[in-house]
Structure 1
Amino acid sequence: MQQDKLIKRDGKVLLNSSERKIKIVAVIPFFNEKKFVFNVVRRTLNFVDFIIAIDDGSTDKSSDLLNDIERVILIRNEMNFGKGFALQKGFDKAVELKSDIIVTLDADEQHEPELIPLFIEGIKNYDIVIGNRLNNLRTMPLHRRLSNKLTSILLSKKLGVEIKDSQCGFRAYRLKVLEKIKTEFHGFEAESEIIVKAARENFKISFIDIPTIYGNQESKMKSIQAIKGFIKVLMI
């Protein structure tokens, strides 16, 4: 069961107040990110109005670190359904709140929240802006380089438009995109699914170069499952 945490100040529920209009919201899904999630949320709050944080069944009490943080809406899934499922939960809430721009980023410090203003600036002329890590591959593991390049090439051929980095989760969306597109896949392949559906709806997609950051994070992506999921996306 999911629980929505409403944000209050002096006993007043901000989300229901006509005096507060949400403009920019960050959607941050996470699963067992106790080491990183608090710092990511803290840094992200400097650039957005609210954060929708989705705990996708963590067992390490990650979400306890976010309790009672002002301007954070916390959604807890009772079990680990997958990144795509968690993202859609966040998108549904963002649409419900009529957010103008929705930014997504990972909770493991592979994305720098300080780059959010670049996405906000970039989306002025586009419907979706996606981070492109493939111009800076020095710290990316070899298997991830090959996976990212291959999936991006295949999606580009399928859609007839250049997809520079199909797997990057650091993105910005206009509200109208998420009102139109719903993810059906529950895993990491959902982010590629969004690209396919957006291209078919003629939404304008752009890419901006961002650093590739790989440190001591433990990847949640399982290679075999990811390949199977991506094949399904290619078939839709």
Structure 2
Amino acid sequence: MNYCVLIPTYNNAKTLARVVEGVLQHTPNVIVVNDGATDETGVILAQYPELTVIHLPQNKGKGNALRIGFEKARELGYEYAITIDSDGQHYPDDIPLFIEAAKEETAPVLLVGNRNMAQEGVPKKSSFGHKFSNFWFHLETGVRLPDTQSGYRLYPLEAIPKKYYTEKFEFEIEVLVRSSWRGVTVKNVPIRVLYKAEERVSHFRPLRDFARISILNSVLVLIALFYIKPRDFIREARKKSLKQFVKENILESDSSHKVKAYSVALGAFFGLSPFWGLQTVLTISLAVFFKLNKALAFVFSNLSIPPMIPVLLLSSLKVGSWFVGGSVLPEGGEVTKEYILNNLLQYVIGSLVIAVSISALLGVLTYLGLKIRDRRGN
């Protein structure tokens, strides 16, 4: 494989030489990014002329160092980059594990080292952050990984994003999630890990960095719910014929009758509600969040097709007039700006009442219909 090993480092003079020498036993293709270190890092690196070294004048964070390292690796023609931390917790002898695992894949794969976080010596804050990160990654991508925080990784350089929005510790979360969204397979590789309190220098600032990571995860979840999930669903639906889509995703799905009924009700509610232009996004996003049948919800969110729009508008205005008053049709038959403003509340209330009523009715009918279908089948 055409790969290099990328080592970002900042004030890890105690362990840097050991890590570099261990890596050089496996490959001469090594890039080290000195992220503005103020200790003996520069002196140590000068002892290894075979390395490709990038000295940054100022410390800007691990994410920035990795991004610059990726750019250099592409410039030198490498297809993969294995990143290893310079604090000594990773074993360079595990490099072949990444190479062999990557060779087994037929498509681009991003491999993350899977550490044993239950072993003795693992800091409690590391164990908590490990579980926290795994939860958010699954919520954002739908992919389950036992370890999403390890910095020991193999990156397919041409498949991962080229531009990023973060440059500190949260960068490793961003690149993992956005690579998965791009269709890159993300897997774990079992690795060993060494924690020596007397050697390890952590630059993680619990309050500030945890806040940055939380903000990033919040943004990623919103993007996943309102863009990525609907996008992936529509792409999948387009790959199938209508008959295949109905058969596989609706009639013969593994969803229970109750889930299917809720899915129909959800889709019908947004299809009849005054969320013009947002029905599909809201429906699929909430279907994903509540683990409902996305196909059923999507189909019933399209109840407000063009021929039905005049009927729904008039019905909403009529029902709304029962609650807040107002006329159904404008005087003289001309729809003016004044008429729209005066009757907007009337329309919104009416459409929501209709949406709730019809969605509940369709949900109940769906459940009963599926039950009757089962009895006839038996």
State how 1:65-144 maps to structure 2 within 5 Å. Answer: 65-67=44-46, 69-124=48-103, 125=105, 126-134=108-116, 136-144=118-126
Other-structure match for 1:3 = none
| Alpha-carbon contact 2:70-2:157 (below 8 Å) kept | no
Bigger helix share: 2
**Which residue among 172, 179, 190 is the counterpart of 2:154?**
172
Cα offsets for 1:94-128 (capped at 9, x unmatched): 01112022100000111000000001111121511
Looking at structure 2, the residues matched to 61 and 174 of structure 1 have their Cα atoms a distance apart, in angstroms, of: 32
Answer yes or no: is 1:54 the counterpart of 2:36.
no
TM-score (norm 1): 0.85
Looking at structure 2, the residues matched to 114 and 136 of structure 1 have their Cα atoms a distance apart, in angstroms, of: 21
Other-structure match for 1:200 = 181
Other-structure match for 1:222 = 205
Report the CA distance between 1:34 and its aligned residue: 1.0
Which structure 2 residue ranges, 5 or more long, are not aligned? Answer: 221-378
Other-structure match for 1:17 = none
Answer yes or no: is 1:232 the counterpart of 2:230.
no
TM-score (norm 2): 0.54
Report the CA distance between 1:166 and its aligned residue: 1.7
| Alpha-carbon contact 1:132-1:165 (below 8 Å) kept | yes
Amino acid at match of 1:233: L
Looking at structure 2, the residues matched to 208 and 26 of structure 1 have their Cα atoms a distance apart, in angstroms, of: 16
Report the CA distance between 1:228 and its aligned residue: 1.6
Looking at structure 1, the residues matched to 31 and 186 of structure 2 have their Cα atoms a distance apart, in angstroms, of: 23
SS at match of 2:93: helix
Amino acid at match of 1:113: P
Other-structure match for 1:182 = 163
Looking at structure 2, the residues matched to 196 and 61 of structure 1 have their Cα atoms a distance apart, in angstroms, of: 35
Cα offsets for 1:125-172 (capped at 9, x unmatched): 151110011454332111110111111112112211113212110001
Answer yes or no: is 1:42 the counterpart of 2:21.
yes
Once superposed, what is the RMSD of the aligned Cα atoms? Answer: 1.6
Amino acid at match of 2:125: H
| Alpha-carbon contact 1:181-1:198 (below 8 Å) kept | no
More relative contact order, 1 or 2 (CA 8 Å, 6+ apart) = 1
Amino acid at match of 2:146: K
Bigger strand share: 1
The share of aligned pairs that are identical, in percent, is 29
Cα offsets for 1:152-196 (capped at 9, x unmatched): 112112211113212110001123224x34332111111011111
Which structure 1 residue ranges, 5 or more long, are not aligned? Answer: 1-21
Report the CA distance between 1:220 and its aligned residue: 1.0
Looking at structure 2, the residues matched to 27 and 56 of structure 1 have their Cα atoms a distance apart, in angstroms, of: 13
Report the CA distance between 1:37 and its aligned residue: 0.7
